[in-house]
């Protein structure tokens, strides 16, 4: 008797457990079976006792080999979920993370204005601006990245999700994309923030596959991007505007101190659901001054 879809699923889960946790292995295996057999999860559970199609065995095997070589499932299937939306991804863009969904949620919770101007610096796949625009259709949203390859993917994601975003190539360390009179109500950024010296502690699926341009900051100045984002905010944030940045949990106090030295006010460190410092928020104007 030929083997069932379920037995292929279980075999894949067991093999994946050699490099992933039990929970991760199961959710990756679901994605693979869905992708290979073109099933939704619902029909997987309905069809699990059927025979695994002969014609799909080769593709399943090739995906398994790539997964066991630590390649992220999102790059293999070319897609990642973020904030309830689908984003095209390849190895030119960071795979959008759950922590960053909390940054998007915070901005939506704190900002109900019908209209405002927002800039996302270091947009990668465009996950932040597209998710925001999907929920605040009248906001005027801009996004920049130094990587032209990332901007191509971000533009496709905006189109696929029916959102209009203005994408511009710009280096935040030497920004020329905006005149000094261009102001934003919100500036948001999830910049590269992992010191290069941490590379040996990182999982292979991250360090061997995700773009180093998106991950790493220089060892001798790990906060360099926050420094330039703060300086940019001094001239480009409206006087009632807010800056939101995602941070490395280890650098919450340093980023706050840096922002203070750059004359930013009302600096707040916000923890994520795992109680790790994850976001720093600041404004230009002191709420106490008139
Ligand atoms: C941590 S990733 C964030 C990607 C996306 N915003 C997200 O949250 O998934 C950082 C992004 O910053 C971009 N980047 C790196 N250096 C930059 C620079 N000097 N100026 C602008 N963007 C830069 C990278 O290309 C990458 O897309």
Judge contact between 93 and 41, C-beta under 8 A.
Answer: no
Residue from 184, 138, 137, 129 nearest 157 by CA = 129
Say if ligand 1 is within 6 A of residue 230 CB: no
Considering the domain architecture, whether residues 98 and 51 belong to the same structural domain is answered as: no
Distance 122 CA to ligand 1 centre (A): 3
Residue 290 lies in a domain: no
Residue 151 lies in a domain: yes
How far CA 37 is from CA of 14, 52, 74, 197, in Å, comes to 19, 9, 17, 41
Q: Which of 36, 69, 102 is the last residue of a domain?
A: 69
Considering the domain architecture, whether residues 24 and 164 belong to the same structural domain is answered as: no
Distance 144 CA to ligand 1 centre (A): 8
Q: For 248, phi and psi rounded to 5 degrees? A: -75, 130
Residue from 282, 281, 284 nearest 239 by CA = 284
Question: What does the DSSP 8-state code read for residue 284?
Answer: S
Considering the domain architecture, whether residues 221 and 189 belong to the same structural domain is answered as: yes
| pLDDT for residue 43 | 78
Q: Name, in order, each residue with C-beta under 8 angstroms of 262's C-beta and a sequence gap of 6 or more.
A: 227, 230, 231, 233, 234
Residue 114 lies in a domain: yes
Counting atoms of ligand 1 from 1, which one is nearest the CA of 93? Answer: 27
CATH code of residue 268: 3.40.50.150
Residue 132 lies in a domain: yes
Could you tell which of 93, 94, 129 is best to mutate to test the pocket of ligand 1, judged by most ligand atoms within 8 Å of the CB? 94
Domain count, the chain: 2
| pLDDT for residue 192 | 98
Considering the domain architecture, whether residues 137 and 261 belong to the same structural domain is answered as: yes
Nearest protein Cα to ligand 1, atom 17: 146
Containing structural domain, residue 55: 5-69
In this prediction the pTM is: 0.95
Considering the domain architecture, whether residues 42 and 101 belong to the same structural domain is answered as: no
Considering the domain architecture, whether residues 208 and 88 belong to the same structural domain is answered as: yes
Say if ligand 1 is within 6 A of residue 152 CB: no
| pLDDT for residue 40 | 73
CA 193 from centre of chain: 13
Considering the domain architecture, whether residues 34 and 65 belong to the same structural domain is answered as: yes
Residue 75 lies in a domain: no
Considering the domain architecture, whether residues 38 and 89 belong to the same structural domain is answered as: no
CA angle, 160 then 92 then 15, to 5°: 95
Considering the domain architecture, whether residues 147 and 275 belong to the same structural domain is answered as: yes
Q: Which of 44, 69, 94 is the last residue of a domain?
A: 69
Considering the domain architecture, whether residues 124 and 14 belong to the same structural domain is answered as: no
Rounded to whole angstroms, the Cα distance separating 216 from 128 reads 19
Residue 63 lies in a domain: yes
Residue 57 lies in a domain: yes
Rounded to whole angstroms, the Cα distance separating 73 from 36 reads 12
Considering the domain architecture, whether residues 106 and 245 belong to the same structural domain is answered as: yes
pLDDT by position in tens, the chain (length 290): 579 999 999 999 999 999 999 999 999 999 999 999 988 766 778 888 999 999 999 999 999 999 999 999 999 999 999 999 999 999 999 999 999 999 999 999 999 999 999 999 999 999 999 999 999 999 999 999 999 999 999 999 999 999 999 999 999 999 999 998 999 999 999 999 999 999 999 999 999 999 999 999 999 999 999 999 999 999 999 998 999 999 999 999 999 999 999 999 999 999 999 999 999 999 987 665 54
């Amino acid at each position: 008797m030929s083997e069932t879809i379920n037995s292929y699923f279980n075999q894949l889960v067991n093999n994946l457990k050699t490099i992933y946790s039990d929970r991760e292995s199961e959710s990756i295996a679901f994605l693979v079976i869905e992708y290979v057999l073109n099933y939704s999860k619902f029909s997987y559970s309905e069809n699990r006792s059927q025979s695994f199609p002969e014609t799909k065995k080769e593709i399943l095997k090739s995906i398994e080999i790539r997964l066991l070589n630590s390649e992220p499932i999102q790059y293999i299937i070319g897609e990642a979920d973020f904030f309830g939306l689908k984003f095209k991804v390849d190895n030119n863009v960071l795979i959008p993370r759950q922590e960053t969904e909390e940054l998007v949620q915070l901005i939506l919770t704190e900002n109900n204005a019908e209209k405002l101007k927002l800039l996302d610096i270091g947009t990668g796949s465009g996950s932040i601006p597209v998710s925001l625009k999907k929920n605040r259709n009248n906001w005027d949203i801009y996004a920049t990245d130094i990587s032209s390859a990332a901007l191509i993917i971000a533009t496709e994601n905006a189109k696929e999700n029916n959102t209009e975003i203005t994408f511009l190539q710009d280096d935040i360390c030497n920004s020329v994309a905006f005149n000094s009179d261009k102001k934003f109500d919100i500036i948001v950024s999830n910049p590269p923030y992992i010191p290069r010296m941490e590379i040996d502690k990182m999982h292979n699926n991250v360090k061997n596959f995700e773009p180093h341009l998106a991950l790493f900051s220089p060892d001798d100045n790990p906060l360099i991007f926050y420094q330039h984002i703060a300086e940019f905010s001094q001239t480009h944030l409206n006087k009632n505007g807010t800056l939101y940045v995602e941070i490395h949990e280890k650098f919450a106090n340093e980023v706050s101190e840096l922002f203070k030295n750059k004359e930013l006010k009302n600096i707040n460190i916000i923890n994520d659901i795992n109680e790790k410092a994850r976001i720093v928020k600041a404004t230009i104007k002191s709420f106490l001054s008139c």
